[in-house]
Amino acid sequence: MKQMEVTIMGQSYLLGCPDGGEAALTKAVAQVDKEMCAIRDAGRVKARERIAVLAALNLAFDVSDRTASPAAGFAPSELPLVNGNGHANGNGNGSGAHDPRLANLLQRLDTALGDDGRLL
């Protein structure tokens, strides 16, 4: 296993990478960096760890949505779990319409965070 130095949201990380996995790791890092920077640049979420949690949720939602409905007629990147303003929405245009499943997930996350405060 080799190590690769990568940068995510301006911070360097040294990651282990299996032989032959460099391209996949580079692609994954680019996706995470893009998602985290988009959330940060949208403005309302400042804490790096909260940005990371939201980015992880968005990416996980994209993956689960792709496997659940591959022919749904929209690209997963058009359906973020949370927009940059910290609001759940059901489409990528910021209209505010949201899927009850996402609202339920956010409510469960807020409950799990407890005294740490609300996620959004």
- State which amino acid sits at residue 58: N
DSSP class of residue 116 equals: G
Distance CA 83, CA 62 (A): 13
Range of the domain at 53: 2-116
- Name the domain count of the chain: 1
% residues pLDDT > 90 (the chain): 42
pLDDT digits (tens, 9 = 90+) for 61-117: 888 877 776 554 444 444 444 544 444 444 343 333 456 666 666 666 666 665 555
